[in-house]
Amino acid sequence: MTELGELERHHEEFARRNTRVVVASLEGTEDAKKTQADFPHLVVVADAQRGLSSVADAIHPRSGPERGDTSAPATLLVDRHGTVRWEYRPARFLTRLSPQELLAAIDQHVADSR
Amino acid sequence: MATTSSPAVGTRRFPAKLLLGLGIVLVLLGPALYVVQLRAKILTVPWYALAVGTAGVALLLLAALRRPSVWRIGALAVAGLVTGAEWYFVLSLSTVPAYTGPVEAGVAFPPFRTTLADGSVFNQDSMRGDQNTALVFFRGRW
């Protein structure tokens, strides 16, 4: 949740780049509602059915509580035409992008970001 | 002319007790530094913690070789287990499977259907419009 807190804290900088931050996990609607309340400037996806995570191949098997599956950390930049512009997939879940790194990637890879 | 024996220079400079103390401090320092890193909200692999812990184990090994005792060998065993577990966690348990999916830079996001927290539909068309999207997968609330 540290990651989401940092993204929320920088929401104005994402807005200035005409970019919304959509965050997704394999949790259900109830957990997603709590996350949405905690981070009101992010768009929270409840992907318990894995419709999005399967397509994005962002599932880390047996790495969650009680050996359940969980999301593999990944960040994808999609432009307003629906085209993937950039993806970041760390080799280990200990590593995440900082907001500054994500903002720099937006500036670099999404042409109409401003 | 009378001569006196003295300990080897290396032993005098680094007595086993000092090596033991330094080793224990280094083994404990790695996790402590990682806690500080997390509090600073820096989410990267703490390679330095592994290096520091390994150096601590090396010093404990040296201390045990120089003056073997139950305490030194016990400290070496515990530190070795702790540092070994740290390496195992970072090198094995935290490793994410290699990506094999269809998402690719320069290509339209593949069709999908899921829901937002409010229950409304979110699909590939939801990412077309006025805004760009930064899609971030996170591990969850736990």
Which residues 4-63 in chain A show a CB within 8 A of chain B? 4-7, 14, 17-27, 29, 31-36, 43-47, 49-58, 60-61, 63
pTM of the model: 0.81
pLDDT digits (tens, 9 = 90+) for B89-120: 999 888 888 887 788 899 999 999 999 999 99
Can you list the domains of chain A with their CATH numbers? 2-113 (3.40.30.10)
pLDDT of residue B90: 92
Nearest to B130 among A33, A80, A86 (CB): A80
* Residue B92 DSSP class: I
Read off the tokens for A54: 């399967």
Q: What is the pLDDT of residue A40?
A: 96
Round to whole Å and give the CA distance between B7 and A77.
65
Q: Which residues of chain A have pLDDT under 70?
A: 111-114
Q: Examine the pLDDT at B60 and tell me if it is beyond 60.
A: yes
Neighbours of A12 (CB within 10 A): 8
Residue B47 burial (CB count, 10 A): 9
The DSSP output letter for B139 is -
Other Cβ atoms less than 10 A from the Cβ of A6: the count is: 17
Interface contact flag, B103 A73, Cβ < 8 Å:
no
Using pLDDT thresholds of 50, 70 and 90, give the confidence band for residue B13: low
pLDDT band at B2 (very low <50, low <70, confident <90, very high): very low
* Cα–Cα distance, B86 to B93 (Å, whole number): 10
In a 13 Å sphere around the CA of B98, the CA atoms on its Cβ side amount to 1
Decide if pLDDT at B12 tops 60.
Answer: no
